[in-house]
Structure 1
Amino acid sequence: MASKDGIQIGMAGSPPRPEYKVYRSRRGPFDRLRGLGGLEGLRRKRGGPKVPGRAREHPPLRRIAKWIALAVAVWIALALVLFFISAQFEQGEGLSRAAERNLEGGSSFLFGSTVLVIGSDQRPSTSTEEKSPPRADSIILLRGSLGEVRRVSILRDSLAQIPGQSPQKINAAYAIGGTDLLIDTVEDYLGGDVEVNHVIRLSFDDFPKLIDALGGISITLERCVRSQKFNGRRVNLKRGDHHLDGQEALRFARVRNNLCDPAEDDRDRAARQQQVLSAIRSRFISPGAFVRAPWIGWRVPQTINTDLAGPGLSALAFDVTTGGAGDTKVLEPAGFGPGGSVLVSEEERAEAAEYLTGGE
C-alpha cells in the first residue's frame, strides 16, 4: 500500500476507515427503575403509596359477575326442571275423562287461550263442617295471551240454566255434574261465544299450600273485615296492611258476611277473592319468590288439578306474571231471583264475553 506525504492510501485510492472504540454508558437511576416497574414499582418495594388510578382491579369484578350470573341461571333452571317434573306427575289428576273431552283445547297461550278457574268448596277431611256435595265457591274465566291477561268473575249465586236441570244458582252445576257440567253451563251462560280451552281447579286443601309456598301474601284493607267462626276460626282484620299465611288467606277469601259492614254482598266477596289472586301474582314476581323458586316450582303443580301439562302451565304462568295485573270484570247483577240467586242481564253477559275474547 503506497503512501504520500506520510498518509496511507487504500487500494482504491480512498482513505482508510478511522479506528475507534465503543464505550457502553453506565446505567442511570431511571434505567434501573425499569426492572422494578418504574417509579410505581420502586414505591411498592419501599412501602410507599400507590399511584391512584393505575392499580390493577383486585378482586376481578368481571369474573365475580360471571359466577353470579351462572349461579342465577342454575337456580332458575333447577326451578324449571322441578316444575316440569311435578306438572307431568299431576297432569289430569282429579279431572274426569268427560271433563277433559269437553275442553276445546288446541289454543295457544301465545295467541289466546281461555281457562276456567274453579275454586271448590269441598271441605278437607279434617273439617268439622257438615259434609255436602262440593260446589264452585268461585268461578273465574281467564284469557291469557302474550303480554295481556283478561279476567271475568261470575258470581256463584248467579241464576243460570243448567243443561238438563231447572234454572238455579250457577255453582250448583259443579255439585250436580262436576267440572264437565260446569264447563257447559258457563259457556252457555255467556252466550256460546266463549270456548273453555283448559280448566284449573283449586280446593280448600290445596289453596293454603300454594300461599305458604310463596311465603304468604300481603294485602291492604280499606275497611275492617270480621266474620263469624267457621272451621273453628274467625277472621278479624283491621283496616290497613296485613301479611297472611295460607290458612289466613283462605278464611279471608271465603268471608261472605262481613260483620264490619252488613251491607256487603257477593260482589264484595268476589272482590276479596280477586284481591287474593292479585296478591299471589305480586308475590310470584317479587325477589322473595326467586329465593324460593325451586320450592315454588315443585309445589305449584301439586296444589291444582288441571289438564295442562308442564309447557302449557308454564306458558300460562308467564302470561299471568308478565301481562300486568289488569282489571277483572265482575258480572253485575240487575236484581234478585228465587232462592237467594242474583239475576244478570243478557247484555251484561254478552259484554263480558266480548271483553274476555277481545272481540275475536
Structure 2
Amino acid sequence: MKRPLMTPDHETFRTSFDRFLDAKVLPRWDEFERDGIVDRSVWKEAGSAGFLALEVPEEFGGAESTDFCFNAVLGEQINARVMRGFGLTLHNDIVVPYLMRLGTREQQRRWLPGMVTGDIIAAIAMTEPGAGSDLSGISTRARRTTTGYVVNGQKTFITNGQNADIIVTAVRTDDDPYGGLSLLVIERGMPGFDRGRNLDKLGMHAQDTSELFFDNVEVPAENLLGQENKAFGHLVDNLPRERLSIAVGAVAAAERAIALTIEYVRDRAAFRKHLSDLQNTRFVLADLATQTRMARVFVDDCITRHNAGELGVDEAAMVKLACTENQVHVVDRCLQLHGGFGYMAETQIGQLWRDSRPQTIYGGASEVMKHIIGKSLVSTTPAEGKS
C-alpha cells in the first residue's frame, strides 16, 4: 500500500533501522527472550546509530526531528520484525516528550544527552497494584521537605523497569484525586529505591517489566517535572501520543500476521488442496485484510494530525481502541489458519499472538478508551489535550 505520508527519506530510515535490527538485535533475540531483558549494549548501539530520542535538540546531541513519521517507522519495524519486547518506543515516544515539554533547561541538560546516546534508559511509572487506568487511584506519596520530597509507595508492570536509569514517576502530593498528582524523576541509585523481580509475562519476554519500591526515597526539588499537583493535566496532554504509538505498532503487527498467513496457506495442503484454495480461507483473509487496511488509513491520518498538533484525546482513544482490538482479532484468526503449527512457541505467528494480548490493556484499557470516546460524544465541553 502506497502511503502518502511516507517519503523516500522515511523509507531510507526504515532500511537503515532494519539493517540495525539484522546486525545487532536479531542474532541475540533468543538470548534476550530467555533472559527477559535487552542488553544495555544494544541500547548504546541504537544510540550510536541515531535511533534514540529523535526529537531532542541538536545542542543535546539529538536530531531535532519534528516529524513523528520517523518514530512511527521504528515502532512499525519493531512490531513487523516481531521484536515487540524492545522498549525503544517507550523511551522515544513516551518519556522523551515529557522532558521536552515539561523539563527545565537544566533537567534537559542533565538527562537528554544520555537518552540520545543510550547511556540513560528511561521509563515511566504510573501503574500501581491498586491503580491502573484510573490515575485518581495513585497512592504512592511524596511528602514535601525543605530540600524536596520523600517518596513512599510501589509501582508495578513498569516497562524498562530493570534497565531504567531515570523513571518519570507519578506520585501523590495532595489528597485531591486528580488535582493532587505530581511527576518526579527518580534516578538509579537513590537510597530507598529498589526494583523487584523482573516479572514473568505471557508474552514480550525480552521486555524487562518490573515492580518498583520506594522506601523513604529522598528526591531533590529539582527533580520535579512540571508543576506540583498538575501532573494529571500533564499526563492528559501526553497520553494521545502514547496511544498513537501503541496503535502504530498494532497495525504493523496485524499486517505482519496477515503476510505470514498468506505465505503459509499458499504452501499448506488440506483435503488435496492448498489452504489458499479454500473459500473459508479466502473469506477470512479478505475480512482481516480489509479491517487492517482501514486501520492503516486511520492510524496514518492520526500521525498526520499529530504532526500538525491536532490529535485530540478522543481521536487518540479511538485509534488506540480500533487498532489494538483489530490486532488481537487478526492475530488470533491468523493463528487459527496456521493450525497446530501456530501454537508452537518458536513460530512467528505464535510470538505475535502472545505479544498482542496486552495491547488492549496498557496505555489505557479498551474499556477506558470507550469511556473517553463516549464521554466526548455526549459532552458539551470539547476534550482537552492535543499531541
TM-score, L = length of structure 2: 0.28
Higher RCO (CA-CA < 8 Å; seq separation 6+)? 1
Greater fraction of residues in helix: 2
